[in-house]
Amino acid sequence: MNKRSITGILAGLFVIAGAVSAGAADKPLLLKNGNILTISGGTIQGGDILIRDGKIAAVGQSLALPAGAETIDLQGQWVMPGIIDSHSHIAAEGDLNEMGDLMTPEVDIKDVLNPEDINIWYALTGGVTSVHTMHGSANPIGGRGIVLKLRWGVKSEELIFAGAPLTVKWALGENPKRSNMQGPGPAHYPQSRMGVEASIRNEFELARDYMRRWDEYNNKTKELGPAKKPGAVLPFPPRKDFRLEVVADILRGKYLIRCHAYQAEEMLSIMRLCREYGVKLVCFEHGLEGYRITNELVANGVANSTFVDFWAYKWEALQTMPHSAALMAKRGVLVALSSDNAERMRRLFNDAAKTVRFGGLSELEALKTITINPAKILGIDKWVGTIEAGKDADLAVFNRHPLDPFTVCEKTLVDGKVYFDRAKVLDDRKKAEDEKKKKETEAKKPKEKSNGGEV
């Protein structure tokens, strides 16, 4: 119910947003003569993409130019699906950790979106079109996250990816234990991985009890019916608990669970716990030891949103290697490379190239880790992640193959609209510099003397 009402509101907002930010979407747009990495259907050399109403209308060679369409000649540049970052913290206010309590699923990133975060722009310059902005990892069951489209320059509600399933962040290990926090403070539970798991189990039990009390209440009121007997005593409703409402929805399977974890054994433990309670775990975050438990990840259908080579920054991030992502992917785990960081977000295509060197992924599989794989994890693969007719026109254009070491992102489109254009940035920069020089030379010129009586 919760989820449906939110998406309902969002759908309403999108009608307004579409009207405001469409611009180019009114006219069809034809991207001509690109090398198109479709991801789902091979590479089309010298291909075209026709975009209509923000969607990909057609992909192929020598597409006809519809009447009134705008054209961009890509001159052999490379086009790939817009990059999707399935683990990020941009476009939100604050440090995104509710430290005040152990369990905090009642808090929601949606409430603190910041459309003016410059990192949205920086992400676009690296070909990123969608991000999953998440709560931090201080809590075993933390806050709710949201999937965004990087429509730079719109209002916060217009950033939201319509229809994307809602997510909840969980966290295991050193962060919920707060192992690396310095200084004095009140004693904190949990201090151990045992405590982290026990706290989640306890929360599930509380939620089950909460659900039972509401079921009893609802059944009782139903029994009394609309035409209740005179003198019948109405039951008191249980106290509304916004935290347990979310945990109950977790047990009902209404959220995609994204679980921050590092060590293989804590991942195995939480998968057992989830099986016991019938909770579907979607993806481990970071999961740097995931390569050790590929059999179990595959058997449980749990994905991994990981780094290629960010490691050794804390104890639980030591037992890993840059081959991990490739090894997992080759053994059937759904793997996404994610940033967790506004800077790394700009070079996820470079990270993907590293999986070819370390662990020997094919170039196609490497590109999947930043496109269709994160789209599947986020449940948005029917709209984005590949270049196919009918999908959203979220695209990244590179001057060379995106896995080439010298590649540069040239253009980024969201819903068929160009939000980043390197040529335009350079052009604007040159104009500003020329303007500045002109002003400086004018300031240096000696002022003309007054010529007599004229005013």
Q: Is the Cβ of residue 180 or residue 219 nearer to another protein in the bound state?
A: 180
Question: Which residue among 3, 272, 357, 424 contacts another protein (CB under 8 A)?
Answer: 357
Question: Could you say which residues in the range 428-447 bind another protein, by CB under 8 A?
Answer: 429
Q: Does 20 bind another protein (CB under 8 A)?
A: no
Shortest distance, CB of residue 291 to another protein, whole angstroms?
6
Relative orientation angle of helices 242-251 and 193-224, to the nearest 10 degrees: 90
- CA dihedral (365, 161, 130, 65) positive or negative: positive
Q: Is the Cβ of residue 54 or residue 127 nearer to another protein in the bound state?
A: 127
Q: Is the Cβ of residue 38 or residue 355 nearer to another protein in the bound state?
A: 355
What does 52-110 look like in DSSP terms, one character per residue?
A: ETTEEEEEESS----TT-EEEE-TT-EEEEPEEEEEE--SBSS----TTSS--TT-BGG
- Secondary structure class of 127 (helix, strand, coil): coil
List the x/- string, 275-294, binding to another protein by CB under 8 A.
Answer: ----------------xx-x
Q: Does 235 bind another protein (CB under 8 A)?
A: no
* Distance, C-alpha 417 to centroid of its chain: 19
Q: Does 356 bind another protein (CB under 8 A)?
A: yes
Q: Does 114 bind another protein (CB under 8 A)?
A: no
C-beta pairs of 176-180 under 8 Å, 24+ apart in sequence: 176/137, 176/138, 176/139, 176/140, 178/138, 179/314, 179/315, 180/314
Q: Does 87 bind another protein (CB under 8 A)?
A: no
- CA dihedral (22, 28, 33, 35) positive or negative: positive
Residue 399 DSSP symbol: S
Shortest distance, CB of residue 321 to another protein, whole angstroms?
4
Answer whether 260's CB lies under 8 Å from 135's CB.
no
Q: Does 180 bind another protein (CB under 8 A)?
A: yes
Q: How many CB atoms lie within 10 A of CB 335?
A: 31
Here the tokens at position 312 are 């050794």
Question: Which residue among 13, 206, 350, 418 contacts another protein (CB under 8 A)?
Answer: 350
Shortest distance, CB of residue 299 to another protein, whole angstroms?
8
- Residues 6+ positions from 19 with CB-CB distance below 8 Å: none
Q: Does 232 bind another protein (CB under 8 A)?
A: no
Q: Taking CA 11 as the corner, what is the angle to CA 5 and CA 14, rounded to the nearest 5 degrees?
A: 145
Q: Does 354 bind another protein (CB under 8 A)?
A: yes
What does 27-46 look like in DSSP terms, one character per residue?
A: S-EEEEEEEEE-SSS-EEEE
Question: Could you say which residues in the range 116-135 bind another protein, by CB under 8 A?
Answer: 118, 121-122, 125
Q: Is the Cβ of residue 24 or residue 408 nearer to another protein in the bound state?
A: 408
Q: Does 425 bind another protein (CB under 8 A)?
A: yes
Q: Which stretch binds another protein (CB under 8 A): 16-24, 136-144, 309-317, 383-391?
A: 309-317
Q: Is the Cβ of residue 393 or residue 409 nearer to another protein in the bound state?
A: 409
Rg (CA), the chain: 26
Which phi-psi region, left, alpha or beta, contains residue 237 (left: φ > 0; alpha: ψ -120 to 50)?
beta
Question: Which residue among 407, 410, 415, 417 contacts another protein (CB under 8 A)?
Answer: 407
Q: Does 405 bind another protein (CB under 8 A)?
A: yes
Buried b (16+ CB within 10 A) or exposed e, 272-298: ebbeeeebebbbbbbbbbbbbbbebbe
Q: Does 315 bind another protein (CB under 8 A)?
A: yes
Q: Which stretch binds another protein (CB under 8 A): 41-49, 73-81, 208-216, 357-365?
A: 357-365
CA dihedral 188, 190, 192, 197 (to 10 degrees): -170
Whole-angstrom Cα distance, residue 44 to residue 24? 25
Instruction: Give the binding-site size for another protein (rule: CB under 8 A).
Output: 47
Q: Does 311 bind another protein (CB under 8 A)?
A: yes
Q: Is the Cβ of residue 199 or residue 319 nearer to another protein in the bound state?
A: 319
Q: Is the Cβ of residue 157 or residue 309 nearer to another protein in the bound state?
A: 309
Question: Which residue among 63, 198, 321, 418 contacts another protein (CB under 8 A)?
Answer: 321
Give the residues lining the site for another protein (CB under 8 A).
Answer: 118, 121-122, 125, 174, 180, 291-292, 294-295, 299, 309-315, 317-323, 327, 331, 342-344, 346-347, 350, 353-354, 356-359, 403-408, 425, 429
